[in-house]
């Protein structure tokens, strides 16, 4: 397990280094910040002072080395648009985004888990068709449009829940439900296909031959193995979820990182994938030997 952990951490560090390098040079290719941010009437002297204040007058290799050293120290510079610490902006708004994304993530997994078990245990083709069609229809609706529909129904017409802002658990319900149900169809199809594949394995037939009940075989034997593909996809989708809260935060006026997180979504993917790898190794001991 230790060797597996070291290997995955080193891979993540190299990936983060690549992301930082790509970010640095892509930002430089976007154009001169002085020309983009200063007003048209700015003089050459104003431009020169602006570039000197940001260190843009130094050679590119020096800028790159300073960028890497600052990133290692946790100093991500100053936001060019808001003229304040970039890390401070993220830290200030990140709790709201994490609250929304993680709540939606857990809610989506729980819904898929419960509905998948209901479909499997009931063995009713009609119930399965109703659940799958409902999930597919939800996935066909854009996030912003579904969020507006929830606001119209539960906030405007029924007046059960608040429509905007952050404060209480009630404020979290609608935006979390909007995000949680978007990938529900994917989770259900993956979960059901994994359970169906496990149901054909020899160990399942052996368990039935020993007289174990259908529920016991499903929960104790099939479920741990069927969860492995779901964990992988859910981990990838958590990165997508964190990067995709921009639209939902805008619709519900949620004071999260929003657009700021788009700039760091690659780093989020790396961290999430590392967590998924470790969780995968914990659930399936065979992975530790790879």
Beta bridge partners of 78: 85
Q: Does residue 271 register a pLDDT over 80?
A: no
Which CATH superfamily includes the segment(s) 87-289? Answer: MetI-like (1.10.3720.10)
Question: Residue 280: which of 228, 244, 213, 225 has the closest Cα?
Answer: 228
Span 17-26, mean pLDDT?
Answer: 75
Cβ atoms of 151 and 174 within 8 Å: the answer is yes
φ, ψ of residue 278 in degrees (nearest 5): -70, -40
Confidence of residue 34 (pLDDT cuts 50, 70, 90): low
- Structure pTM? 0.61
How many residues in the chain?
290
Confidence of residue 110 (pLDDT cuts 50, 70, 90): confident
Q: Does residue 201 register a pLDDT over 70?
A: yes
Instruction: Pinpoint the alpha helices (H) of 141-183.
Output: 143-150, 169-180
139-186 per-position pLDDT tens digit: 888 888 888 888 888 888 888 888 777 778 888 888 888 888 888 888
CA-to-CA dists, residue 174 to 243, 252, 269, angstroms: 18, 8, 25
The residue assigned the tokens 């906030």 is 155
Cβ atoms of 37 and 81 within 8 Å: the answer is yes
- pLDDT of 80 reads 53
Go through 172-182 and write b for each residue having 16 or more CB atoms within 10 A of its CB, e for each that does not.
bbbbbbbbbbb
Beta bridge partners of 124: none
Cβ atoms of 276 and 231 within 8 Å: the answer is yes
- pLDDT of 87 reads 59
Domains in the chain: boundaries: 2-72, 87-289
């Amino acid at each position: 397990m230790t060797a597996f952990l070291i290997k995955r951490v080193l891979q993540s560090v190299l990936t983060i280094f690549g992301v930082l390098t790509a970010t640095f040079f892509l930002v430089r290719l976007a154009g001169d910040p002085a020309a983009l941010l200063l007003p048209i009437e700015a003089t050459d002297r104003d431009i020169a002072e602006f570039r000197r204040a940001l260190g843009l007058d130094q050679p590119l290799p020096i800028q790159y080395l300073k960028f890497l050293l600052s990133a290692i120290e946790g100093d991500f510079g100053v936001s060019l648009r808001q003229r304040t610490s970039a890390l401070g902006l993220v830290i200030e708004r990140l709790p709201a985004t994490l609250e929304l994304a993680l709540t939606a993530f857990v809610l989506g997994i729980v819904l898929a888990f419960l509905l998948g078990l209901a479909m499997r245990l009931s063995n009713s083709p009609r119930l399965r068709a109703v659940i799958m069609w409902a999930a597919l229809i939800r996935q066909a609706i854009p996030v912003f449009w579904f969020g507006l529909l929830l606001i119209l129904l539960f906030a405007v017409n029924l007046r059960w829940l608040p429509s905007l802002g952050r404060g209480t658990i009630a404020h979290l319900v609608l935006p979390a439900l909007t995000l949680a149900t978007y990938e529900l169809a994917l989770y259900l199809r993956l979960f059901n296909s994994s359970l169906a594949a496990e149901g054909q394995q020899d160990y399942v037939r052996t368990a039935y031959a020993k007289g174990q009940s259908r529920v016991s075989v499903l929960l104790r034997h099939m479920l741990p193995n069927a969860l492995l593909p779901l964990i992988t996809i859910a981990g990838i989708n958590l990165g997508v979820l964190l990067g995709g809260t921009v639209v939902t935060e805008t619709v519900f006026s949620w004071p999260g990182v929003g657009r700021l997180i788009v700039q760091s979504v690659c780093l989020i993917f790396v961290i999430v994938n590392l967590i998924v790898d470790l969780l995968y190794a914990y659930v399936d001991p065979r992975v530790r030997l790879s």
